[in-house]
Amino acid sequence: MSSLRLIVFGRQGAGKGTQAVRLADHYGIPHISTGDMLRAAAASGSDFGRQVKEIMDSGSLVSDEVMEGVVAERLAQPDAAAGFLLDGYPRTPGQAEYLQTLLAPDGVQAAINLEVPEDVVVDRITGRRVCSSCGATYALGRDESAVSGLCANCGGEVLQRPDDTEDAVRKRLALYAESTEPLLNWFRERDLLVDVDGVGDPDDIAAALVARIDERRSGAPGAGS
Ligand SMILES: [Zn+2]
């Protein structure tokens, strides 16, 4: 079986993290997130790693060039030889171009876009409650602790995070849509975007994702530009 190179997109609250872990487990490929990748590079102790650490410690944004080095280094690791699931990269069409060049001639096989309507996402996030003592998370409509305000684990106070209010959430979603739309279009134009409905039972969504990916792997050569 050829190596499986995937990217996953999804706005906050779409369940991207959950599905990324499931997909990586299912296919036995590493789930590579931008944050983990940067931390690993910084901890590597190489000259390049020290540069990355300096940038991160200073709180500056990591430039495209540095990020390209981090991605190239990570994807060259032995555990990524059979494939990988990238999460958080690329973020721009320019980075997507870079990735396809790095992975030439095959490139990525699919960029998964987990789609959840905005109102559903807003409900999920604004219904989230967090214990101020132990950090346990609860959901309105599912957990008694979210309603009572008392943590079932530790008895601590259960609250809504200030950035989980509807106003804050809608602002974040609008920013995400604005910055991600050109990127999704980039993959769509190359017939690489796989839109998947992210509403429903996580098991069903995971099964649908696997079916769509397997379908792409088994057929349709010549997809893309
Ligand atoms: Zn607690």
> What is the pLDDT at residue 223?
45
Round to whole Å and give the CA distance between 185 and 188: 5
Tens digits of per-residue pLDDT, 45-66? 888 899 999 998 998 888 999 9
Please, is 95 exposed, middle or buried when counting C-beta atoms within 10 Å of its C-beta (0-12, 13-18, 19+)? middle
pTM: 0.84
Q: Which domains does the chain have, with CATH numbers?
A: 4-29+82-218 (3.40.50.300)
Tens digits of per-residue pLDDT, 2-58? 799 999 999 988 999 999 999 999 999 999 999 889 988 889 888 889 999 999 899
Strands (DSSP E) along the chain, which ranges? Answer: 4-10, 31-33, 83-87, 110-115, 128-131, 137-139, 158-159, 193-197
Percent of the chain with pLDDT over 90: 80
Which residue is catalytic, options 5, 16, 22, 124? Answer: 16
| Distance from the alpha carbon of residue 138 to the mean position of ligand 1, in angstroms | 10
What per-residue string of b and e applies to 28-45 under the rule 16 or more CB within 10 Å gives b? Answer: ebbbbbbeebbebbbeee
Residue 91 annotated as catalytic: yes
> Do 73 and 88 meet the contact criterion of CB atoms below 8 Å apart?
no
Reply yes or no on whether the pLDDT at 224 is more than 50: no
Percent of the chain with pLDDT over 70: 97
Which residue is catalytic, options 128, 190, 212, 217? Answer: 128
> What is the pLDDT at residue 220?
55
Residue 16 annotated as catalytic: yes
Closest CA to 15 of 210, 214, 205: 205
- Rounded to an integer, the average pLDDT of 132-141 is 95
> What is the pLDDT at residue 189?
97
pLDDT band at 221 (very low <50, low <70, confident <90, very high): low
| Distance from the alpha carbon of residue 133 to the mean position of ligand 1, in angstroms | 5
| Residue 216 token pair | 């792409």
| Distance from the alpha carbon of residue 165 to the mean position of ligand 1, in angstroms | 21
Residue 39 annotated as catalytic: no
Closest CA to 136 of 124, 152, 125: 152
| Distance from the alpha carbon of residue 142 to the mean position of ligand 1, in angstroms | 16
Which residue is catalytic, options 91, 170, 190, 212? Answer: 91
Residues 6+ apart with CB under 8 A from 197: 115, 205, 208
Which residue is catalytic, options 39, 172, 188, 190? Answer: 172
